[in-house]
A and B are shown apart, each in its own frame.
Chain A
Amino acid sequence: MMPVGHYLFLSFALFTIGAIGVITRRNVIVILMSIELILNAVNINLVAFSRIFGDVHGQVFALFIIADAAAEAAVGLGIIIAFFRNRETVLADEMDLLKW
């Protein structure tokens, strides 16, 4: 068990990289993958603290986050497929149907 700061730094680094990915990339699938990265960073944080306090509640919450990420990925990819069938694009800046 390393000092908790190490895990927090790792979680922060992954979170930042995920946030940069969401902001920078044009491909919507890569944006979704960066969101998964953000969720993983949060999971590391939860599990590190659950280890410190010796109980398992943090890990249970992390499991719920994983289940939730699965549901969100499934629906998000379904939306992308439906959009792709209509507009033939997956670039975020070309999905501007609601723009006036």
Chain B
Amino acid sequence: MLDSIIFYFFAGVAILSAALMVTRRNAIHSAVFLITTLLATAGIFLQLRAEFLFIAQIILYVGGIMVLFVFVIMLVRLDVPLHHITFRFQKWVALFVAIALACEVGVMFWYVRRLPSAGLLTPPAPSPDQLPPNSEQFAKVLFSNYLLPFEIASILLLVAMIGAVVMAKKRT
């Protein structure tokens, strides 16, 4: 019962602030709504008992990436509300894409409902008490199975850092 309340709360906040994010004129308002969406997503991770990912989302995404976005918006003064929209066709393209995606997902749900063994498509989830401690399990898998992707991710971040510094430097 508590689980579903928490899920509906965070899911509602996520969808609502995502919808608000893509409709604001002011870029800073969009950034603030993206922050709330990311926090709600972190809440969903917590509800799924993914504790390490919850705090990784908050530290990395909200505390890192969104600070980057907000800094760039402030430094480059990009928050000026926009004037007239010249390309009106975008709205129809967006509507078409949304309807296409919705049809895809609807068809998928419809087919799943018709299968007799629909309930057995996924195994029953283990109860929260049966789950091992999340951080320890995470670390065990990260540093054994995924060691190579981990090292590649570090190199990727290094390359991205160098790239960002070079791109943003003033050419004197």
Contact = CB atoms under 8 A, between A and B. Distances in A.
Interface residues of B, number: 79
Contacts of B161: 74
Contact of B53 (A20, A24, A47, A79): A47
Given A23-B97, A63-B53, 18 more contacts: A1-B3, A21-B22, A27-B27, A30-B22, A36-B65, A43-B53, A51-B49, A54-B130, A55-B141, A56-B137, A59-B50, A67-B156, A67-B157, A68-B153, A69-B65, A71-B160, A77-B69, A81-B76
Nearest to B85: A26
Interface in A29-74: 29-30, 32-34, 36-37, 40, 43-44, 47-57, 59-60, 62-64, 66-74
Contact of B167 (A25, A62, A82): A82
Instruction: State the main secondary structure of chain B at its contact with A.
Output: helix
Given A1-B48, A44-B44, A51-B50, A20 B22 contact: yes
Given A1-B3, A20-B94, A56-B137, A25 B53 contact: no
Contacts of B52: 59, 63
B134 A56 contact: yes
Contacts of A80: 72, 76
A78 B6 CA distance: 38
Instruction: State the main secondary structure of chain A at its contact with B.
Output: helix
Given A50-B50, A90-B76, A14 B14 contact: yes
Contact of B153 (A36, A56, A64, A79): A64
A14 B168 CA distance: 31
A94 to B, nearest CB: 10
A18 B17 CA distance: 11
Q: How large is the interface on A (under 10, 10 to 19, 20 to 34, 35 or more residues)?
A: 35 or more
Given A18-B18, A24-B91, A40 B86 contact: no
25 contacts: A1-B3, A14-B14, A14-B18, A14-B37, A17-B15, A20-B98, A26-B82, A26-B85, A29-B72, A33-B31, A36-B38, A40-B38, A43-B57, A49-B122, A51-B48, A51-B125, A54-B130, A57-B141, A63-B52, A70-B157, A73-B65, A78-B167, A81-B168, A90-B76, A91-B82
